[in-house]
Amino acid sequence: MSGIKTRAVHAVKHIGSRLQVRTARVALFAVVFACIGLALLTLTHAATSTTSFEPENGSRTGASTVSDNGASGGSAVLFSASGGTWWSGQSDTTTTQNGTFATWRGRAIEIGGTWASSQNAGDAIASPTWSIAPGNPYGNIPRMDYAIGAMIDNSGENWSAAASGAYDSRWAQQLQQLKASWGSRQASNMFIRFAHEFNGNWYPWKVTPSDVTNFKNAWARFANLRNQYFPGAQIVWCPNAGSSYAYDIRTLYPGNSYVDVIAVDKYNNYPWVNDQASFNSEIIRTANGGPQGLETYRQFALQQGKPFAVSEWSNDGNPAGDAGEGGGDSPNYVQYFHDWLVANGSQTPQAGKVLYEVLFNVPGYTNSLYSFYPLDLEPGNTEAANKYAQLW
């Protein structure tokens, strides 16, 4: 796809006493936003089975939809935020567990973000026992965005087999272990990001145009397994902001009955933007008729009657750019993103409102291009980090 760049990365993640190394290819697009009061965008949609972006009154039918003026259920407030109308968190285990990140920014970690291993089936199942279970880095965090990859690395697994139930047993075991590790914490505070970034070509669970039908059928299977093995946990449909394939991302939406939260992973790089006009332009980007900008994804969540989330975000602090696309310190980006959150956030689930965001704060990841804290590990983001600590 024109304009898409991928990069090979080696992410080092500390999970309790274990060290996992994950190789991925990541395509990150600019996190963008509109001025407060930006008018709702109306797009003309080509003749497909998906909906247009036109705002609606109320919600669509579906087991987990909510209206734009109210909530369906809600998360228990286990501790109060010191600021912000949405739940906020990060994805570094060490500074979550020792409390230094929360102290640094002056706000508790209200939601954590982590990933199940996809290196082998055993680790895929056992992952929450060393990350989420009591006594581990996220053992006391009241909410989690937990990414479960649909397939195992270098295994030859595919969506056709998934749609026929080939991986149901492993998925069921993953859900059972996740529930056991979550313990007595409220089930609805567990946000399961299944097959995250499925529209990119860097994970084994990538969805090519020929995989779309099998992907949606497999997704329904996973959602039904969730109902059986971890009832109450929420399933998050979370593409990368940009796709590696020339499809309307909405054609990959499995249906409201199988999704509780719509989310996106979106970073400030390629193109890296640092002024208001560029942010305002980026936020309304579309691709192949579907959303690509942060605001157009939020509008899609509104139309489906679902809360919205930003499961991964940060600024690319490398002036040379990761894979050459350009970057640099940007407190402006942090300010504008924060303003957009303030305008659109809600800790009570509401259609099209930002329920939570998780900063991709993983020191050591590609030379800490995206890390904000600890400060000595992210010299490229010094001003962005200071702005974050000031605002959050």
Contact yes or no for 258/220 (Cβ under 8 A): yes
pLDDT of 50 strictly over 80: no
Given 3-state DSSP classes, what are the helix, strand and coil percentages for the chain, each rounded to the nearest 5?
A: 30, 15, 50
Q: Which pLDDT value is given to residue 323?
A: 61
**What is the distance between the alpha carbons of residues 2 and 156, in angstroms, rounded to a whole number?**
28
> What is the arithmetic mean of pLDDT over 190-197?
99
Task: Determine which helix (DSSP H) or strand (DSSP E) holds 335, and give its type and residue range.
Answer: helix 331-344
Q: Which pLDDT value is given to residue 379?
A: 76
| Confidence tier at 2 by pLDDT (50, 70, 90) | very low
pLDDT of 79 strictly over 50: no
**What is the distance between the alpha carbons of residues 269 and 318, in angstroms, rounded to a whole number?**
10
| Confidence tier at 84 by pLDDT (50, 70, 90) | confident
Q: Which pLDDT value is given to residue 367?
A: 64
In the CATH hierarchy, which fold is given to the domain comprising 7-391?
Answer: TIM Barrel (3.20.20)
For the chain, which residues make up each domain, given as ranges?
7-391
**What is the distance between the alpha carbons of residues 367 and 347, in angstroms, rounded to a whole number?**
33
| Cis-peptide, bond into residue 271, ω within 30° of zero | yes
> What is the arithmetic mean of pLDDT over 145-166?
99
Residues with Cβ < 8 Å from 215, sequence gap 6 or more? Answer: 159, 162, 163, 195, 198, 207, 252, 254
> What is the arithmetic mean of pLDDT over 107-135?
98
Average pLDDT of the chain is 82
Query: 308 forms bridges with which residues in the sheet?
Result: 262, 354
Q: What is the pLDDT of residues 164-192, one digit of tens each?
A: 999 999 999 999 999 999 999 999 999 99
